[in-house]
Amino acid sequence: MKRRTFNRIGVVCLVLGMIGVGFGIRPAAGKKDPVPPWMEDVVERGNTTYRMPKGMKKKKVGAQWVVEDLHEYVARRIYEMNEVLETHLKQMEDRQKAFEQKTLDRIRRLEGEVEALKRRLSSDKTDTGLEEPEQ
């Protein structure tokens, strides 16, 4: 009698467990993980989605997709970023040189104007007789 009771309880638990597992395994409808800004979803044949870093090279060989090795991807991205940074550095150096040249030209022009004003002021003093007597 005890054995039958345990068998019945076992069957009921098994059925309830299967029902619970059936409901628990289903993915939530319409909910997807957010894609980080550095990643992209690549859809293949309509129902398979792969998430990979943006810019990772992929090519189709026969019926398969061959994806760039992670080490090659990282090395290529570092090389590309280095080129971009060197280009920006060169542009900044050129802008700095141009700015320095413009600043020096403006300083020379202002020094010339100051000298002209000094001459004009000294000539105005001698013309009006306002020059201070020497002692």
SS3 annotation, 28-84: CCCCCCCCCCCEEEEEECCCEEEEEECCCCEEEECCEEEECCHHHHHHHHHHHHHHH
pLDDT at 23 over 60: no
pLDDT at residue 94, rounded to an integer: 97
**Domain ranges, ordered by start, for the chain:** 36-67, 69-129
Q: What is the pLDDT of residues 70-88, one digit of tens each?
A: 889 889 999 999 999 999 9
Is 49 within 8 Å of 42 (Cβ atoms)? yes
pLDDT at 63 over 80: no
Measuring CA to CA, how many Å separate 14 from each of 25, 89, 135? 16, 68, 122
